[in-house]
Amino acid sequence: MEVTMDPLFLAWSYFRRRKLQQCSDICSKILQDSPYDQAAWSLKTRALTEMVYIDEVDVDEEGIAEMILDESSIAQVARPGTSLRLPGTSQGGGPTPAVRPMTQSGRPITGFVRPSTQSGRPGTMEQAIKTPRTASTARPVTSASGRFIRLGTASMLTNPEGPFINLSRINLSKYSQKPSLSRTLFEYIFHHENDVKNALDLAALATEHAQFKDWWWKVQLGKCYYRLGLYREAEKQFRSALNHQEVVDTYLYLTKVYQRMDQPLTSLNLFKQGLDHFPGEVTLLTGIARIHEEMNNISSATEYYKEVLKQDNTHVEAIACIGSNHFYTDQPEIALRFYRRLLQMGVYNCQLYNNLGLCCFYAQQYDMTLSSFERALTLVANDEELADVWYNIGHVAVGIGDLVLAYQCFKLTLAFNNDHAEAYNNLAVLELRKGHIEQSKAFLQTAASLAPHMYEPNYNLSILCEKIGDLQSSYTAAQKSEDAFPEHADTQQLLKQLRQHFAAL
């Protein structure tokens, strides 16, 4: 004889096993029979929320609209070391762009790609809306549209027959009186329906009902304000929540607010304050390291990443960042160790093998170099990764002097990724060696237009033009190179030489 399980218990069990769809289905059935079953209703809202839940603490990408139409920035020209928006305010003796490549925003590339490490702030609208916003590296128009709208549509897809809760009919003040229901309802509105205004109303009513003493509701209020772009109000709520209860999450939310307001130093102080209460907390340490990294203070960032590893020795971001830092400070053998550690931890992807291959090559472990790249080639997921692998193989080929292979590799890079400025630049140098001046010039010009943050194409173009006697073009190209990398000694020397040439009779 079969004993049927209590459906609510089964649903609860499904929920705990994260079989959210089944959980939601059972709850729907229960609710059909008894529409006023609060437990089932609450469980279903939780299940639906969990389906689309994203940790709000995580870094999010600033949208184009938020950057271009930014009203909260006070000082247009911030003092060095106080702003995240000024690239090139290097403090901590990181490697120069000659050693470590730059991203478009003028920061050294990181070892770990996360939102806001790739593109930084575009200088102009033109730059903001240009192609690098492809499907894989999209910068949303606003942060409210990029991620959250997609979540909203996701919720529509899961409920083809209509929304589970009709928000316009719901009596928020009634629910706000019931603490057991109001929290799940809030999370449902906030995450699943992505209706920040209603969520804010509910949170405001609930916090009033709790006589302004409940830290959880204050944090939720802060989240709503943050989502609406009211950073000062969000700051107030988070601060007040922290007075009631010290929670790591609240610290993280608050620092996020400060970073949005471009006050990295306040964020750092807050992180340190948080560390006093929660010593060795990994998320706080990672936050500090990230800010240091964004402010070009690579050595401090590495310090903090090491601190992170002491607490959590499987932290992928920390391992990857320290590894890449060692690679670019001329210690590839140590970088190799870190990447091998990642491999041991079970990270098994194209990027890792790509890095391993390069580290092996520069650490003179030649027997493992090309096999790593081969493995990377078998693991590629899309064309852009393929392009990166071929680009690195091209570097190895240049290193061993096999220019035919190098030429093929760079061409392959361009075939798989038409916007690979570095490959254009290297190809131009190879073409120049073959004596194809026109082609070389065309490639360099393309590279310069694709990546205005790189100094190499402009510098190469400058040398090329100088050699063929076109001093005017050489001078303009050298000036662009100087803009991109003011400390570059070779550019300076070339400029000096050109100026002398112009002044001489």
Partner 1 sequence: MSSLESKGDGGKWLDAHYDPVAGLYTFSSCVDLADLSGDGDSRLVVGDLGTGSTGMKLKVYRGTALMSESTLLDLPAGLVALFIDQFEPRIPVVAVASGPCVYVYKNLRPYFKFTLPTLEINPVEQDMWQQVREGQIDPVMLKEMLEDVRKKADVPLSDRSLRFLSLAADEVDEFVQLHKQQPIRRQTVITCIGTLKKSTADEDGISCLVIGTENADVFVLDPEAFNILSKMCLPAVPTMMDVTGQFDVEFRITVACRNGSIYILRRESEKPKYCIELPSHPVGLVRVGKNVIVGCSDESLQGFTQKGKKLWRIPLPAPITTMAAMELPARGLQAVLVGLANCQVQLYRDKNLLSTIKTPDAVTSICFGRYGREDGTLIMTTKGGGLMVKILKRTAAFDERDGAPGPPLAQSVRLNVPKKTKLYVDQTLRERENGLAMHRAFHMDLSRMRLAAARTYFKVLESSLTPMSCSLSEPLKMNAVVQGLGPSFKLTLNVQNTASCRPVMNLAISFLYDDNLYRIRNAYMRIPLLVPGLIYPIQTFVECVSDKGVSDIIKVFVLHEEKSAPLLTAHINMPVSEGLMLS
Binding site for partner 1 (CB under 8 A): 64, 93, 126, 129-131, 133-136, 138, 140-141, 145-146, 149-150, 153, 329-331, 333-334, 337, 363-367, 369-371, 373-374, 377, 383, 390, 393, 400, 402, 405, 408-409, 411-412, 414-415, 418-419, 436-439, 441-443, 445-446, 449-450, 499-500, 503-505
Question: What's the token pair of residue 64?
Answer: 């184009």
In angstroms, the first-to-last Cα distance of the chain is 109
The C-alpha atoms of residue 160 and residue 189 are separated, in whole angstroms, by 18
Residue at 136: amino acid letter:
S
Nearest distance, CB of residue 288 and partner 1, angstroms: 24
Q: Is the CA virtual torsion 80, 82, 87, 93 positive or negative? A: positive
Nearest distance, CB of residue 368 and partner 1, angstroms: 8
Query: Which is closer to partner 1, CB of 8 or CB of 368?
Result: 368
Query: Which is closer to partner 1, CB of 6 or CB of 438?
Result: 438
Question: What's the token pair of residue 338?
Answer: 């870190």
Query: Which is closer to partner 1, CB of 3 or CB of 504?
Result: 504
Query: Which is closer to partner 1, CB of 33 or CB of 367?
Result: 367
Question: What's the token pair of residue 123?
Answer: 């200088």
C-alpha to C-alpha distances, 447 to 56, 236, 353, 443, 461, nearest whole angstrom: 38, 47, 27, 6, 10
Nearest distance, CB of residue 386 and partner 1, angstroms: 9
Within 8 A by CB and 6+ apart from 465, the residues are: 441, 471, 473, 474, 477
**Using an 8 Å Cβ cutoff, are 413 and 391 in contact?**
yes
C-alpha to C-alpha distances, 361 to 61, 198, 351, 379, 408, nearest whole angstrom: 34, 57, 16, 20, 19
Nearest distance, CB of residue 102 and partner 1, angstroms: 19
Nearest distance, CB of residue 387 and partner 1, angstroms: 11
**Using an 8 Å Cβ cutoff, are 478 and 498 in contact?**
yes
Nearest distance, CB of residue 407 and partner 1, angstroms: 9
- The burial class, CB within 10 Å (0-12 / 13-18 / 19+), for 53 is middle
Query: Which is closer to partner 1, CB of 313 or CB of 371?
Result: 371
Query: Which is closer to partner 1, CB of 96 or CB of 103?
Result: 96
Q: Is the CA virtual torsion 418, 452, 63, 125 positive or negative? A: negative
Map residue 102 onto helix, strand or coil.
Answer: strand
Nearest distance, CB of residue 340 and partner 1, angstroms: 12
Query: Which is closer to partner 1, CB of 133 or CB of 236?
Result: 133
Nearest distance, CB of residue 287 and partner 1, angstroms: 28
CA-closest candidate to residue 202, choices 166, 162, 172 = 172
Nearest distance, CB of residue 220 and partner 1, angstroms: 26
Any idea what the Cα angle at residue 258 is, between residues 254 and 261, rounded to 5°?
A: 140
Query: Which is closer to partner 1, CB of 202 or CB of 342?
Result: 342
Nearest distance, CB of residue 318 and partner 1, angstroms: 19
Query: Which is closer to partner 1, CB of 237 or CB of 440?
Result: 440
Query: Which is closer to partner 1, CB of 242 or CB of 478?
Result: 478
C-alpha to C-alpha distances, 342 to 140, 314, 349, 353, 355, nearest whole angstrom: 31, 8, 10, 10, 11
Query: Which is closer to partner 1, CB of 78 or CB of 442?
Result: 442
Map residue 372 onto helix, strand or coil.
Answer: helix
Nearest distance, CB of residue 437 and partner 1, angstroms: 8
Count of CB atoms situated within 10 Å of the CB of 220: 26
**Using an 8 Å Cβ cutoff, are 309 and 318 in contact?**
yes
Query: Which is closer to partner 1, CB of 233 or CB of 419?
Result: 419
**Using an 8 Å Cβ cutoff, are 249 and 223 in contact?**
no
Q: Half-sphere exposure of residue 460, counting CA atoms within 13 Å on the CB side? A: 25
The C-alpha atoms of residue 161 and residue 24 are separated, in whole angstroms, by 14
Nearest distance, CB of residue 142 and partner 1, angstroms: 8
The phi-psi region of residue 262 (left if phi > 0; otherwise alpha if psi is between -120 and 50; otherwise beta) is left
